[in-house]
Every structure is written in structure tokens, then in C-alpha cells.
Homo-oligomer: A and B are copies of this chain.
Amino acid sequence: MKPVAECFSIDSVARPRDYARWLAGLESGAPLSADDREAIAGLPLRVQAFAEKADILRQGDAPRECAVVLDGFVCRYRLLGLGQRQILSFHTPGQMPDLQALHLTPLDHGLSALSAARVGFVPHAALHELIARAPAVATALRREVLVDASVAREWLVGLGRRDARQRIAHLICEVFLKLGATGDADPDGFDLPFTQLELGDALGLSSVHVNRVLQDLRRDGLIASRGRNLDICDWARLRAAGDFDAAYLHLPEADDAAKAQLSP
């Protein structure tokens, strides 16, 4: 296991754009009223920057604040005896990866920045109060937790019943759509925000095998990649190779959008 990367944390003040990204995440299910939006913009939001690979929260912590991803790409993970790691989920700007800490402590997993990231922190007390006061916000948060669980179930299916090629193709589709939803994925070559080793840790595979399967996918003309930069050459076939159906992400229009972007 590699040493924990330095976390040079430059605390800073929340900007209006930060609240906007958070709101976009909360409103992905249904729009909020002007009042609710104002209530959220009024919450205290402590912002902290994290370097690539820095830990944001650690297994065992009992945080008194909830995290909101503002920039970058973040994952939850679990460490087990002797160097094994399982990545549990990926999160893009606007998402709140540790809502469960509102009720269940201590944290049974860590939260880590895969790319350089900025994360906001809201006190639990303020969120609890808001949930009691603003039913529509409570609903949005409930929905966010449920979507998170839906993604976890899809991963469960993948780890249990799909082979390496399917898993990798599936995850590329998922990440592409999630990044696309916040405007971070250019269809003609976007950057995968993780290494092959991290990909393996998410999919229950060794990095060696991930590498070999990626080469197959390139050879078959489904993707092209050089370093981290990845280009989806054939969305339809990649989707088929991964047995991918975007419904579980519950992104409005996600798959249609991808199809439109990728087949001009």
C-alpha cells in the first residue's frame, strides 16, 4: 500500500458558483422553489481543496459535516487486510457522497480525491434543520441517497455476474455519462480521472488484467486511448459490450444525450 498522499488543504470561501453546482446536483430529480434555493444558498459551506489522491474522510471518522463535491472526481473506498482496496462509488461535482453519515456513524469507508478536487462541508445540524423546514429539499436528498443505492446495485450485478470486458466497458459508459452530465466530458476524447490500478480496485480486477482488456477494447475499435485521454469510437458497440443501460443512473435524458453527442 502506498503512503497516504499529502493533503495540502487551502481552505477558501464558497463562491456563488459552488452553490450553483450543488443546486444543480440537488435539482437533477426535480427543480426546487426559489425559497428552497435561497435556503440552500444561505447554508454555511466551508470549502477545502484536496490534491490528487488525498484523503477527504477516513474510515472510522465520525464527521459532523456533510461533504459536497464542488470540483474534481472523488471516490468512496474500503480498505481491507493487507493492501486490498475496494472502490465503492465515484462522485462528480454536485453530489453528496456521505449523506449516510447523517444517521450512521462512524464511517465504514473512506472518501478520497482521485483528481485534484474542491469539496464543500455543511454542518449536519444545519442540514437536519433544513430537512425539517424544507420538505422539497428533504425529498431531493432522499432521492440522491436512493440513486446512490441504485448505482451500488448495478455495481453489485457487475461484480457478481459480468466478466472483465463487460465490467470495464460498463464503467467507461457510466463515467462518460456522469462526467457529461456536469459538462466535464468532451465526446472527442475526455480524460479518465483514474489510473488502471484504480479501475481495477473499482471492478475487483488486477491492474494487469485491466490493462489487457483495455488493449482488447482498443484493438476492437470500441475506444482509443493514449495515457488517460480516452476517446469513445463506437458508443453503440461499447454500450453493447458492457450490457449498459443508463436507466440506473437516473440522469434525465442521459443516454439520449450521449447518443446525440457521439453519433453526429
Contact = CB atoms under 8 A, between A and B. Distances in A.
B153 A109 contact: yes
Contacts of A139: 103
Q: Tell me the dominant secondary structure on chain A's binding face.
A: helix
Residue of A86, A157, A160 contacting most chain B CB atoms (<10 Å): A160
A88 B153 contact: yes
B248 A150 contact: no
B204 A161 contact: yes
A130 to B, nearest CB: 13
B104 A250 contact: yes
A45 interface: no
Interface in A124-179: 132, 135, 138-139, 142-143, 145-150, 152-157, 159-161
A78 B149 contact: no
A42 interface: no
Interface string A65-89: 0000000000010101100111010
Contact of A150 (B29, B104, B132, B156): B104
Count identical subunits in the complex. 2
Which of the four size classes fits the interface of chain A?
Answer: 35 or more
A27 interface: no
A194 B155 CA distance: 23
Nearest to A78: B157
A82 to B, nearest CB: 11
B160 A204 contact: yes
B132 A135 contact: yes
Contacts of A157: 78, 80, 86, 88
Interface string A85-104: 11010000000000110111
A166 B62 CA distance: 28
A47 interface: no
A203 interface: yes
A86 B159 CA distance: 10
A143 B103 CA distance: 6
B146 A100 contact: yes
Closest 8 CB pairs of A and B: A160-B204, A159-B159, A86-B160, A100-B146, A152-B152, A149-B149, A86-B157, A86-B161
15 contacts: A78-B153, A80-B157, A80-B243, A86-B157, A88-B157, A102-B142, A104-B143, A104-B147, A104-B150, A108-B154, A142-B145, A152-B153, A156-B156, A159-B159, A159-B204
